[in-house]
Homo-oligomer: A and B are copies of this chain.
Amino acid sequence: MTDLSGLSAREAVGEIARGKLSALEYATALLKRTQEIDGEIKAFIHFDPEHVLMQAERLDEQRLSGRPLGPLHGVPVAIKDIFDTADYPTENGWGAHAGRRPRRDAEAVRRLREAGAIIFGKTVTTEVAYFNPGATRNPHDLSRTPGGSSSGSAAAVAAGMVPLALGSQTNGSVIRPASFCGVVGVKPSHGTISRAGVLLLSKKLDHVGVFARGVDDAAMLLDVLAGHDPEDSDTRIHAARGFAATAAGEPPLPPKLAFVRTQRWDRADPSTQKAFEELATSLGDHVEEVELPDYFATAWDDHRAIMAPDMAHRFGAAVDASGEASSKQLHELIAQGRGYSAERYLGALGNVQRMRASLAGLFERYYAVLTPATTGPAPKGMPTGDPVFNSIWTMTGQPCVTLPLLSHDDMPVGVQLVGAFGDDARLLRTANWLTQHVAPKKRKKARR
């Protein structure tokens, strides 16, 4: 049974489709593992084993009846608790939303069900996917943070409770917990996955992202989730997705990566600085160091100048009314957001356009940017960590992936690759290429 928790989603789908494994057996194994370890890790906030078994039984009946199977038939997926679900509460990690029960699934959840996935449970998020942490601990070391805001989703995948999970990123909320927990995290290009039915912090900044233990699994999940949705006007119309098919191929030319330190390199741990410099050197001709133009220096302030007013606009009145049901940090963010002028807000949006245009030029010359995912391994205690290596790429909407290729202090450290806007499939292919190049030397097993 234990082995089943190590299956990739792709393997599981294959076994189930061939009748070698039933959805019920697979779900039962993952339930058992979750019940054994989640008392300590605390990845899930809403979790109903009977409901999981019922979904699995129904999927097995469907298979036995000869009806066609979806691309995720029988695969349990964990859902960050800011995605509306019709069968589980959705509390957004927020005291003010305690007991909230949406009537409809978020579009991303609806697509999962349609693809035959099992909605396994809802995972812990920081308060309104912002700062104040939930109860989840890092599966590699319970005294450390799993990172946030998608804390439970990253931890559940890392600990083998599920092979796949949904998260969201407004600053670093997918890439950072994935790096801290030693899994693959993907934040696709802005507008790739619908945010309808997901707690909205900032239309410009919010992204749906995914967690998996390998790039191919993440690509398979993106194939199910990506697409236009009239309910989210930022979603783009894709002629074809084909993330998994492209990711599995060989790059037609030897990839060229741009090693980017950013203007905040000093915020990286010395061990992280050293590891990335060694990694860049070890990749030889595949890597050139590139400096971002000076005007990227405002990026972090610009990010704040967009996010804080957007959140004050969305949540201001509700946070005021919630009193002590909201954290001090959230009250402070709202107050800060209210202090921004419209001119500063619009100036920040203008700066983002300029940065995006500059990056478009960069990605004509390089397959991807190579840069840290986090400042280092997960810190001790529960602060969810620093998103300093995420803000630029989130704000400009680039696709990002973090790969668990490094480690320090026996803790995983992610390597982030950032791609050209809209070219997510090629980025995943480059990620597979890098994994194959680096893996023999550095790959570590996650604790499970």
Binding site for B on A (CB under 8 A): 305, 309-310, 312-313, 316, 337-347, 350
At the interface, is chain A mostly helix, strand, loop or mixed? helix
Identify which of A346, A347, A350 gathers the most chain B CB atoms within 10 Å of its CB: A346
**The one of B339, B342, B346, B347 that contacts A344, using a Cβ cutoff of 8 Å:** B342
Chain B residue numbers with a CB within 8 Å of A341 are 309, 338-342
In the complex, chain B residues whose CB is within 8 Å of the CB of A316: 343
The CA-CA distance from A313 to B348 in the complex, in Å, is: 10
User: Of the candidates B313, B340, B346, B350, which one forms a contact with A350 in the assembled complex, judged by CB atoms under 8 Å apart?
Assistant: B313
A340 to B312, CA, bound (A): 15
How many copies the complex holds: the figure is: 2
Which residues of chain B are within 8 angstroms of A347 by Cβ–Cβ distance?
313
Question: In the complex, given contacts A309-B342, A310-B346, A345-B346, what are 18 additional A-B residue pairs having Cβ atoms less than 8 angstroms apart?
Answer: A305-B342, A309-B346, A312-B342, A312-B343, A312-B346, A313-B343, A316-B343, A337-B342, A337-B343, A338-B341, A340-B341, A340-B342, A340-B343, A341-B341, A341-B342, A342-B342, A342-B345, A345-B345
- The CB with the most chain B CB atoms within 10 A, among A340, A343, A347, is that of A343
A345 to chain B, nearest CB (A): 4
Which one of B338, B339, B343, B350 contacts A309 once the chains associate, using CB atoms below 8 Å?
B343
- How many Å lie between the Cα of A337 and that of B305 in the bound state? 17
CA distance A338 to B345 in the complex (A): 11
**Cβ distance A86 to chain B, nearest Cβ, rounded Å:** 24
Chain B's nearest CB lies how many Å from the CB of A314? Answer: 9
Report Cα–Cα, A346/B308, bound state, in Å: 12
B350→A343 contact, CB < 8 A: no
A-B contact pairs, 25 of them (CB 8 A): A305-B342, A309-B341, A309-B342, A309-B343, A309-B346, A310-B346, A312-B342, A312-B343, A313-B342, A313-B346, A313-B347, A313-B350, A316-B343, A337-B342, A337-B343, A338-B341, A338-B343, A340-B341, A340-B342, A341-B342, A342-B342, A342-B344, A342-B345, A345-B345, A345-B346
